[in-house]
């Protein structure tokens, strides 16, 4: 009887749900300024691949991520799997978030507020997130 629960847990670990959630999180940040661009979509796709998603699954995962983000009104569900990952994994996501925010060379109060919330939800030090922000901001000016 309990083998059923173990099997479902193993199957869940082998699926791409974490990539769907990360994609939805990145899409949410891209849409917050109401200017969701192709450049931002490319950053999201590149990030998913860098985090280990198989390229053959990329389009399917991206479509699922867009659908989940569209039908959700909170970011908590997008971060729950990520917060338990190691710091280097979370830093890659934060770098992508800042790249998305600065894709249009500016950030607004909604994007800044969201990043403060995400820093807490991902259990990251604010100094690390600030350093990443400055690095990406300076690179976007070039």
Closest CA to 68 of 22, 12, 117: 22
Domains along the chain?
A: 3-140 (1.10.3680.10)
Instruction: Give the model confidence (pLDDT) of 38-52 as tens digits.
Output: 999 999 999 999 999
pLDDT interval class at 8 (50, 70, 90): very low
Q: Which burial class, exposed, middle or buried, applies to 28 when counting CB atoms under 10 A from its CB (0-12, 13-18, 19+)?
A: buried
∠ Cα 95 45 92 (to 5°): 20
For 11-27, how does the pLDDT look when each residue is reduced to its tens digit (9 = 90+)? 344 478 999 999 999 99
Give me the pLDDT at residue 47, please.
97
The mean predicted confidence, pLDDT, of the chain is 89
- Alpha helix stretches (DSSP H) within the chain: 3-14, 17-31, 38-50, 58-70, 76-79, 87-101, 109-121, 126-140
Compute CA distances 49 → 1, 8, 12, 27, 32, whole Å.
Answer: 38, 26, 20, 15, 23
């Amino acid at each position: 009887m309990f083998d059923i629960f173990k099997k479902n847990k193993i199957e869940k670990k082998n699926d791409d749900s974490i990539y769907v959630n990360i994609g939805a999180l990145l899409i949410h940040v891209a849409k917050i300024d109401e200017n969701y661009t192709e450049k931002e979509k490319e950053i999201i796709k590149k990030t998913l691949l860098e985090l280990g998603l198989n390229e053959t699954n990329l389009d399917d995962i991206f479509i699922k991520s867009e659908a989940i983000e569209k039908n959700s009104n909170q970011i908590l569900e997008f971060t729950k799997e990520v917060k338990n990952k190691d710091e280097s994994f979370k830093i890659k996501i934060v770098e992508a978030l800042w790249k998305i925010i600065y894709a249009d060379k500016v950030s607004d109060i909604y994007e800044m507020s969201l990043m403060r919330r995400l820093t807490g939800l991902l259990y990251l030090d604010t100094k690390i997130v600030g350093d990443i922000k400055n690095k990406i901001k300076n690179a976007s000016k070039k």
